[in-house]
Every structure is written in C-alpha cells, then in structure tokens.
Homo-oligomer: A and B are copies of this chain.
C-alpha cells in the first residue's frame, strides 16, 4: 500500500521526522508495572534521527485508545504503540487501531502461520485466544520479532508493538531500516560546577541569542553532595552547537570569577 512505512524509508536530508509513543495498559496507570519502554524508545529514536515529541499513557479502554491513536497519528510522522497485543480479553489494541483508521480487522495469514509454528514448537493448542493474536487491521503489515515470535504490525504511520520490553525492543529493531529518519539532534553536556540559580539569567541570554540551539539546564547533586548543574546544548547543526557550547563555557568562567570576588 502507498502509505507503507517501507516506501518512505531512508534519511531525509536536513529534514525533521517526529514521533509519538502511546503506552496502552491499566497496569502502568495502577503502578503495578513500572514502564521501561518510554525511556528506551526516547533514547533509541533520538539516536536514529527521529524526534520524540509526545508520550501518552492510556488505560485498556476502547474510547481512550481510539481517541489517542487518532490525535497522535495526525500530528506526528510516526506513532509507536506499546502493549495490548496479547491473547486475552484486555488486549484490544489491534481492534482499536482498526477502528481509529476506519478499516476492518481480520486474521492475517502470515501471523496465523507464525503462531501455528510457534504453538507446534511449544506443545500448545491453536485455540481462540491464540487466534486473537493473529488479527491485523486490513492493510497492515507484520512487525516480526526474534524473541517471542508473536508479531506486531504497522499500518499507515502507526507501528503497533508489544509491551514486554525485550519483545518491544526486537520489534523496534525490525522496523528501523524501514523508517524515514531526519537530521540527528546533536547534544553536548557541560558540567557547570555552579548552582542553577547562579547561572539562570546568563544562560537565558545565551539561549535567546542562539535560536537554532536548544539549551536545557538540569540540577543534580554532585559527588561532594553539592548542588550542581548540567547544561545540555542541542542542535542539528554542529557549528551552531559548538558556538553555543563555547558561549556557555565562557559564561561559566565569568560567573565563577564574579562569585569569587563577591
């Protein structure tokens, strides 16, 4: 199909490719399971040149999932979902994505084949519950994984993955060569050895005069138990990044001299 992920694969020179993550699952919202996928996907996408712009976590409720899928797939290049693709009644992601896209859902012959082979190998029976896992919205393509065997799928710009971290990671790896990617956001960290409150105003001025650079300030307690700050400078342009980093370093020297005098 024309909007298959694979058709648009490759690097878009200087372009910006965006993504959202939708985590589906009551167990995350109840606190029973601590999500490990958001941070992993965030770091992974940043590394391949896709900007993660938004994350949502919603319960296993059809109306919530459908609304979130439609809101997020409309705004970003890709929507990655995690969770809700197992064999039980609370696994409703596939139906919800079909509803959101307005397409029917059916057993996918390739998924059935994979599940049959898996069931034969593990001594189970191919029952109704396991057949549930082979349903894919019409037009969807399988997302394979080496870990559990059970596939996810992609349709349009929506990539549906498992919630189990090792399986999700294998699926992300599978789709990576098929994704469009943009210019990578480069990043440098400068340790200030000053408190955030000491550098805030001067850092704001540097941020204002470097509009193509995003400057973040992150307080931390250092190895001596002192309040310290990491300044993170990010840009897609390595020269602009270097200029902003140099400005931050010069500012830190200046403030240290001022504070020593005071």
**A interface residue numbers (CB < 8 A to B):** 23, 26-35, 38-47, 51-60, 64, 86-91, 119, 122, 124-125, 127-130, 132-133, 164, 185, 187, 195-201, 203-204, 207-208, 214-219, 227, 232, 234, 262
Q: When the two chains form the complex, which single residue of B27, B29, B200 contacts A53, counting CB atoms closer than 8 Å? A: B29
A64 to B198 alpha-carbon distance, docked (Å): 28
Are A215 and B29 in contact, with the CB atoms below 8 A? no
Are A44 and B31 in contact, with the CB atoms below 8 A? yes
Are B29 and A34 in contact, with the CB atoms below 8 A? no
For A219, the chain B residues whose CB sits under 8 A away are 86, 164
The answer to whether A33 and B218 touch (CB under 8 A), given A53-B59, A54-B64, A232-B27, is yes
- Additional A-B contact list (19), CB under 8 Å, known A30-B234, A32-B187: A29-B54, A30-B43, A31-B41, A31-B45, A32-B232, A34-B39, A35-B38, A55-B56, A86-B196, A86-B200, A87-B196, A87-B197, A88-B196, A89-B208, A90-B207, A90-B215, A127-B201, A130-B200, A164-B219
For A41, the chain B residues whose CB sits under 8 A away are 31
A86 to B200 alpha-carbon distance, docked (Å): 9
